[in-house]
Amino acid sequence: MSGGELLKPVKFSIIGGAGFRAQYYLRIAQTMPERFQVSATVVRNEAKALEMEKKWGVSTYRTLDQMLQSESPDFIVVSVSGNEGLNYLCRLAEEGIPVLAETPPAPDLEGLEQLHDKLLATDIRIQVAEQYQFHPIQEARLALIRSGRLGRITETTVSISHLYHGVSLIRKMLGISFENVKIRGMRFESQWVGGPTREGNPTEDRMMPLQRDLAWLDFGDRLGIYDFTKDQHRSWTRSNHLSVRGERGEIFDSRVLIQQESTIPLQLELKRINKGELENQEGYFLKGILCGENWLYENPYAPARLYDDEIAIAHCLQKMADYVAGGPEFYSVAEASQDHYLGMMIEKAILSGEVVETQHQRWAR
């Protein structure tokens, strides 16, 4: 759906509505009720359920069965972790209800295989809410890659988020699907000042152990470099980084360098354009990302005041609604399984100090 079309709101329910990730979906629906509506949530804890109803104005149920008796959403977001999430996915597969699953879709290799076998035996429509590819800056980088101006892509370095999130960006930037890879890894340990975590901002100044994990993913003709320090993406003292190198140029964070066929070099910038700055009175929101005279990304949810992670998750919701209506896949269980598998192999390479070679998995196409 484009930003100018007026269609009926996407109506979805959430399993695990009191969790950290579920709060994103609730905020998005609250900000843009004309586009997204939460019909109900499953919250097993009675006290938390009452808090949810008061804070968000949504109906809550203690069990999935109770919700299914009363609600008919377009799809259900499963936002619980580990084996609990896998059990819900298998149950909803039996019911034939479309599902948007949180990452990862199963906790380990055995669970991924079990989920794959369950999906083969059913007709369920399921996608996974891997939002990093839909962050505005990543959409802009991918648009530049697709334009061909960088030539054939050969390398990427991703220092954005942990394991399967980072792997998903490595695959997208390199154009990798299910190819096998040789992985080398290492861990560097030191100290750093404790910063923000999922629980909030620091309340005291203290030094903490730091673990920086690095891995080289050799696909033969393409190289992916994984680089991540725990809590880096929330840190005030460590920066995120992503670079892409092609035959004709590179993206280095927001800087773009290209040598044209005329041999004249271009030095461009991925320029983030926000409204509401200085004398602009259009409201405060992200308009898009420019590169030279071209928009590489235009925010489809403007003028809603969403930050980048919320924009990306809103994109997952809209793409899921399109998928349920007969549209294309956008991040399948097979892709999610491959990224989680490669993430586990990165961990194995780091901990063992050996070169790990991946194997063709049953979900690979």
Residue 6 confidence (pLDDT): 53
- Residue of 286, 288, 258, 284 whose CA lies nearest to 270: 288
pTM value is: 0.94
Alpha helices in the chain (DSSP H): 22-31, 46-56, 64-70, 82-95, 109-120, 136-147, 163-174, 308-324, 333-352
Coil, strand or helix at 209: strand
CATH class of 133-304: alpha beta
pLDDT, averaged per 10 consecutive residues of the chain (365 residues), comes to 63 89 94 96 93 94 94 94 84 90 92 88 89 98 98 98 97 98 97 88 92 97 96 90 98 98 97 93 95 97 96 97 96 96 98 97 90
Would you state the pLDDT for residue 85?
86
> How many C-beta atoms lie closer than 10 Å to residue 222's C-beta?
20
The pair of three-digit structure tokens given for residue 330, joined into one six-digit string: 């956008």
Domain locations in the chain as residue ranges: 10-128, 133-304
Write the Ramachandran bin of 16: left for phi over 0, alpha for psi from -120 to 50, otherwise beta. left
Yes or no: say if 291 and 302 are a contact pair by the CB < 8 Å rule. Answer: no
The encoded tokens of residue 153 equal 């892509």
Quick one: tokens of 114? 């079990």
CA–CA gap between residue 311 and residue 317 (Å, rounded): 10
Contact (Cβ atoms closer than 8 angstroms) between residue 44 and residue 62: yes
Predicted local distance difference test score (pLDDT) of residue 138: 98
What pLDDT does 53 receive? Answer: 94
CATH of 10-128, one of 3.40.50.720, 3.30.450.20, 1.10.10.1200, 3.40.1360.10: 3.40.50.720
| Residue 334, C-beta contacts closer than 8 angstroms, at least 6 positions apart | 116, 178, 363, 364, 365
User: Are the C-beta atoms of 177 and 337 separated by less than 8 Å?
Assistant: no
- Note the pLDDT of residue 2: 45
- Backbone φ, ψ for residue 120 (5° rounding): -60, -30
Q: Residue 53 has which token pair? A: 């109803």
